[in-house]
Amino acid sequence: MTEKINIRVFIADDHAIVREGLKQILAEQSDINVAGEAENGVDAARLVGKSKANVMLLDISLPDRNGIDVLKQIKKDKPELAVLMLSMHREDQYAIRALKAGASGYLTKQSAPRELVTAIRQVAGGQKYVSAALAQTLASAIGEDHEAAVHEGLSDREYQTLTMIASGMTVSEIARELSLSVKTISEYRARLLVKMKLKTSAELTTYAIRNGLVD
């Protein structure tokens, strides 16, 4: 008798090759099937609500909306859905923000081939999923008299703008990447400088490197 499929996964990633790779991994599991997919944030939020998925794989870098913004909307509309964030970024850059926003776990795309199935089963069972390294970081922080770093007070979009500036992108390039106007990105940059008490993009970059926010 074939084992009953009981984990239904919705995949949101703007790269078709990534979606196909994820589906190939999941196709080998008798207890998991794919309940739908989307290539941008708007479709992801709309279609997952209509699907019967109980786990969502959500790329943190979508072309039209920040993945954490999409996560917040989905958790508001469908709070019972377990959302596992996928990202090219190191865990220490985005994982804690994602978990605070309601994610059930965070998985880098580099580790997805070996950890994906375990992570999906874990979050489907109501648990959180993070790597052993991140778990150690979180455990070490418990009980410490920790003064929040300046960047921890930024909004998700401001934080994303900071990391993109620090990666060497211009305002125009960031606007194009995020499908926003140059004026909007310039406003984010101006707010960043005020909040962080800095004066130039070079100082933002130096801060980001010093705090390990960029590779």
Averaged pLDDT, groups of 10, the chain, 215 residues long: 72 94 93 94 92 94 85 92 87 78 89 89 92 68 57 83 90 88 92 89 87 75
Q: What pLDDT is recorded for position 58?
A: 96
Q: What pLDDT is recorded for position 4?
A: 56
How far apart are the C-alpha atoms of 169 and 55, rounded to whole Å? 34
On whether both 67 and 129 belong to a single domain, the answer is yes
On whether both 180 and 101 belong to a single domain, the answer is no
How remote is the C-alpha of 162 from its chain's centroid?
A: 16
Q: Is residue 145 part of a domain?
A: no
Please, are residues 109 and 86 in contact by the beta-carbon 8 Å criterion? yes
Q: What pLDDT is recorded for position 8?
A: 96
To the question of pTM greater than 0.85 for the whole model, the response is: no
Structural domain total, the chain: 2
How far apart are the C-alpha atoms of 166 and 207, rounded to whole Å? 9
Domain ends where: 114, 139, 164?
A: 139
Q: What is the domain range of residue 40?
A: 7-139
On whether both 96 and 154 belong to a single domain, the answer is no
CATH number at 83 reads 3.40.50.2300
| CB-based burial label for 162 (10 Å; 0-12, 13-18, 19+) | buried
Please, are residues 138 and 176 in contact by the beta-carbon 8 Å criterion? no
